[in-house]
Amino acid sequence: MAVSKVLKEVLGSLKPQGPSKEITATLKKVNDLIEGANLKAKAVIGGSYAKGTNLPGDHDVDIFVKFSMAYVEQDLSALLGKVMIPFKPLRVHGSRDYFQLKQAGVSYEFIPVLDIKSTNQVQNVTDCSTLHTSWFLKKGKGLQDQVRLAKLFCKAQGVYGAESHIRGFSGHVLDILIVYYGGFEKLLKAVQKWKVKTVIDQGNVHKGKALFNLNKSKTLGPLVVIDPIQRDRNASSGVSEEKFHQLIDAAKAFSKKPSSAFFVPEELDLDILKKKFPALLIVKLKPHEGKDDVVGSKVLKVFEELRASLKDFSPIESGWEFEDPSILWYGLARTRRDSEILISGPPIDIVQHAEAFKKAHKGAFVKDGRLFAKEKRELIDALDVAKVALKHPHLKEKMVSHIVELRK
């Protein structure tokens, strides 16, 4: 099937949905509370709903509370916090605290920002959010469906999201890329030719010298996408090389064999995974509540450190899914390791250290001029190693609870 035909088919399932009655009612209630508090501010819907690029089934809504510049010296989070009291939201700490609320199946984030008119007035990175929306509505007119395709494709391929535990492509970066290339199909063709340090400068502000003009710390990643609102900022600085190459590979695979399956996230099926490996170690953990970026980073840390603990069992493949509960899985080549461990000591000609090693390890022996010793391992089975590792305070503090099992 041709690429264009597949994209047309996928677009048929991406009918745009505006804010629901519940979202509109919540927005009105917040503005009524703001008015009742005599604040010079206004709550507006932001993000994908404001741009018209939200996906069906997307129930995450950003609401920006724009405060007059008269409040530039005040604590906007504290002001908004008083307004939000009737909702009993969760306060999330960040560069400027914001508030989370879940009701009627919708997840809201209420973000206090200054009602700036230009980047010269920016006091916090979030202040630019409404300018980003205005930019896209002007430059991306008629490209909303193309952004939806890009979002759905990236989500299905596991490269969507700027959170630190994902380090993929944010919605803002995809907005810029779609505007720059003029559509999703053109973006896919271009992606296949990307090399590390590819520069996207919509408007050619840096005249081909972005890598020289920007602070080196902003160009360490594989991709440089100049923010059209803040020209000294790389909007894609958080994209990892892994996600960068993952997108390139996905674009090539799709172009080679177009299919709507590329737009459908692959569901985690532990039974299917079990058939792929001699053994499958599974951890189901309940993460702490809080900001997804922070909580997700903690789960990722558990995943990485446990993988390192299992190195003696020859992990073939591993992965994780950040949900509640989160699922970590490790395909192992074997479930038992050697009952003894070989410890390398100092060269025998370093007498003082050699003598200390001999005292600490009875039965030490010399090989190629260096001391070695064999010690009995306390833990032999992969399941036991995993259980002990997960009980370590350093990992235990990163979760509420966990269950670990080994399927052979």
**CATH number reported for the structural domain that contains residue 105 in this entry:** 3.30.460.10
Structural domain contains residue 5:
no
When computed from its CA atoms, the radius of gyration of the chain, rounded to whole angstroms, is 26
Same domain, 321 and 353: no
How many structural domains are present in the chain?
4
Specify whether the backbone of 337 is left (phi greater than 0), alpha (psi in -120 to 50) or beta.
Answer: beta
Q: Please report the beta strands in 2-81, taking only residues with DSSP state E, as ranges in sequence order.
A: 41-45, 60-67
pLDDT tens for 337-350 read 999 999 999 999 99
C-alpha distances in Å from residue 281, one per residue of 32, 50, 387? 52, 43, 11
* Three-class secondary structure of residue 328 per DSSP: strand
Is 368 part of any domain? yes
The reported pLDDT for the residue numbered 17 is 74
Whether residue 61 contacts residue 109, with contact meaning beta carbons closer than 8 Å, is answered with yes
Domain co-membership, 187 together with 307: no
Report CA-CA distances (Å) from 57 to 15, 20, 28, 204, 296. Answer: 10, 11, 22, 36, 22
- Name the band, by pLDDT with cuts 50, 70 and 90, for residue 1: low
* Whether residue 177 is found in the same domain as residue 240: yes
Percent with pLDDT over 70 in the chain:
100
H/E stretch holding 287 reads none
**Are 165 and 189 in the same domain?**
yes
Domain end marker among 48, 81, 116: 116
**Please, which pLDDT band fits residue 312 given cuts at 50, 70 and 90?**
very high
- pLDDT for position 13: 84
CA angle in degrees (0–180, nearest 5) for 4-5-9 = 115
Q: Closest Cα partner for 150 from 130, 193, 180?
A: 180
Whether the pLDDT of residue 273 is over 80: the answer is yes
Element containing residue 90 per DSSP (H, E): strand 90-92
- Rounded mean pLDDT of the chain? 94
Same domain membership, residue 99 and residue 159: no
H or E element: which one contains 120?
Answer: none
Distance of CA 309 to the CA centre of its chain: 24
d(CA 327, CA 282): 7
- Find residue 64's DSSP bridge partners: 44, 111
- 346 and 278, same structural domain? no
To the nearest whole percent, how much of the chain has pLDDT over 90? 85
Mean pLDDT value of segment 225-244: 95
Other residues' Cβ atoms within 10 Å of the Cβ of residue 335: 16
pLDDT on residue 278: 96
Q: Are both 328 and 348 inside the same structural domain?
A: no
**pLDDT at residue 296 above 80?**
yes
Do 236 and 171 belong together in one domain?
yes
**Is-contact 251 191, C-beta < 8 A?**
yes
**CB under 8 Å to 350, separation ≥6 — which residues?**
none
Residue 291 pLDDT: 74
For residue 193, what are the CA distances in angstroms to 106, 161, 167, 184? Answer: 39, 22, 21, 15
Structure confidence by residue, pLDDT tens digits, 156-165: 999 999 988 8
pLDDT band of 203, cuts 50, 70, 90: confident
- In a domain? residue 178: yes
Q: At residue 128, does pLDDT exceed 70?
A: yes
On whether both 277 and 386 belong to a single domain, the answer is yes
Q: Considering the domain boundaries, does residue 206 fall inside one?
A: yes
pLDDT on residue 293: 80
Question: Mind giving me the DSSP string for 245-264?
Answer: HHHHHHHHHHHHS--GGGGS
Residue numbers of the domain that contains 302: 270-336+380-407
Structure tokens at 89: 């939201």
**pLDDT (average), residues 244-269:** 95
Task: For residue 317, give the nearest of 305, 303, 329 by alpha carbon.
Answer: 329
In this predicted structure, the answer to whether residue 289 has a pLDDT above a threshold of 90 is: no
pLDDT of 69 reads 97
Q: Is residue 10 part of a domain?
A: no
Same domain, 211 and 232: yes
Residue 226: pLDDT over 90: yes
> How many other C-beta atoms lie within 10 A of the C-beta of residue 81?
17
Counting Cα atoms < 13 Å in the Cβ hemisphere of 261 gives 9
* 239 phi/psi in degrees, rounded to 5: -70, 125
The pLDDT of residue 125:
87
Strands 401-407 and 279-286: antiparallel
Same domain membership, residue 228 and residue 199: yes
Of 308, 311, 318, 278, nearest to 407 by C-alpha is: 278
